[in-house]
Amino acid sequence: MDNRPDPGVPFEVTGGRQKAAWAERLLPPVEQLAGDIWSVPVPIPRNPLRYTLSYLIPGESGLVVVDPGWDSAEGWDALCRGLTEAGASPADVTGVVATHVHADHHGMTGRLKAASDAWVAMHPAERDSLPHHTVPQGEVGGAQSPTDPIGARLREAGASANDVRDLTGLPDGQSAAPRVDLAAPDILLEDGDHLPLRGRDVVTVWTPGHTPGHICLAESSAGVILTGDHVLPRITPNIGLHGRRPGQAPLAEFLASLKRLAAWDDHEALPAHEYRFRGLARRTDELRAHHSRRLEEILFVVEESFRPTLWEVTARLSWSRPWDQVGRMRVAALMETAAHVDHLVDAGLLTRCGGEGRPIRVARPGPG
């Protein structure tokens, strides 16, 4: 099966100023978009993603903020400046929606709620993945609960003691990360639900995969869909195991969600990072093809090895930079690999053994 995108399907960058700012490593401007929706970049300190694009959706008697961003003094100032440009203030916010609960999206929700008494909404599966304790603000890729530390995951995958120490310690010169409470929801948004915002018709589209309860938000009257981290114009979103419960298959869910979102091809995509674009059908095809290639690559690596550990498989895959330069993002790479290995195990193409104190190893089915 050929998974390459049809070259006849258009892909158009609509956020030209955003793309130029991304190329120049600058913060993009606050912009008023179709349907009087506002795009507000909220910086993420010391992170290659640089910023989250928060969106302001005004209604007849209030304002909803989607993904307020990373909780920092700099981020709060940026969000307040964006509200001011839109003719509003934190006190005017009546609701906050989290596309998902990663700290670069949901981290500042509690501060905004305290300043406005706004309701907080998310999908039930995101509510269920919230930790019962505060989490380190430095974990952009998801919260690890005290009973599921990163170190245990690394050791179980077969990482060396040096790798575990490097990836669980703090970078030189950085003090311990402050801790942030992740706000619980007041409203749960199921697939197809409408935001409680009078004068607007914003529909929830459940797109699990990046996280179990990730949602997109479609406003068809404006011809836009907020895609969160589910579909970005250039970056391939991480498919990890954050919040996974028994019976869930993150990669299979993500691929199914991509097929579903392709139906919104006539809508402008407003992602949470990088820049706006049109061409969801083509972009979702590209992402599906990427994961197909990744699955084939994992099978090849396992074939060429003798029962490699999960860590060894991860280190031998192709990433955006050489493995020894991936740095602390090796944790996200491991989680991504684990999701793909799970997919192959579920399909009967790999077997897995180990765990419970022994490194996880994978192999092709068969004797030997």
The residues spanned by each domain of the chain are 12-150+176-288
Top CATH class of 12-150+176-288 equals: alpha beta
pLDDT band at 179; cut points 50, 70, 90: low
Q: Which residues of 261-271 are buried (b: 16+ CB within 10 A; e: fewer)?
A: bbebbebbbbb
Token readout for 259 is 């097929």
Q: Do 102 and 142 meet the contact criterion of CB atoms below 8 Å apart? A: yes
332 burial type by CB count under 10 A (0-12 exposed, 13-18 middle, 19+ buried): middle
| Average confidence (pLDDT) over 259-286 | 97
| Average confidence (pLDDT) over 181-195 | 95
Q: Which residues, at least 6 apart from 35, have a Cβ–Cβ distance to it below 8 Å?
A: 219, 221, 222, 223, 224
Q: How far apart are CA 142 and CA 137, in angstroms?
A: 10
The owner of tokens 């095809």 is 285
| Average confidence (pLDDT) over 203-215 | 96
- Judge whether residue 180 has pLDDT over 60: no
Q: How far apart are CA 265 and CA 274, in angstroms?
A: 19
Q: How far apart are CA 292 and CA 109, in angstroms?
A: 36
Would you state the pLDDT for residue 168? 85
Q: Do 233 and 269 meet the contact criterion of CB atoms below 8 Å apart? A: yes
| Average confidence (pLDDT) over 286-312 | 96
Q: Do 100 and 229 meet the contact criterion of CB atoms below 8 Å apart? A: yes
Q: Is the dihedral of CA 263, 267, 270, 276 positive or negative?
A: positive
| Average confidence (pLDDT) over 104-116 | 96
- Judge whether residue 169 has pLDDT over 60: yes
Q: How far apart are CA 74 and CA 45, in angstroms?
A: 8
Question: Across-strand partners of 70?
Answer: none
Q: How far apart are CA 359 and CA 155, in angstroms?
A: 7
Question: Across-strand partners of 218?
Answer: 203, 225
Question: Across-strand partners of 188?
Answer: 122
pLDDT band at 46; cut points 50, 70, 90: confident
Helix or strand or coil: residue 108? coil
Distance of CA 49 to the CA centre of its chain: 11
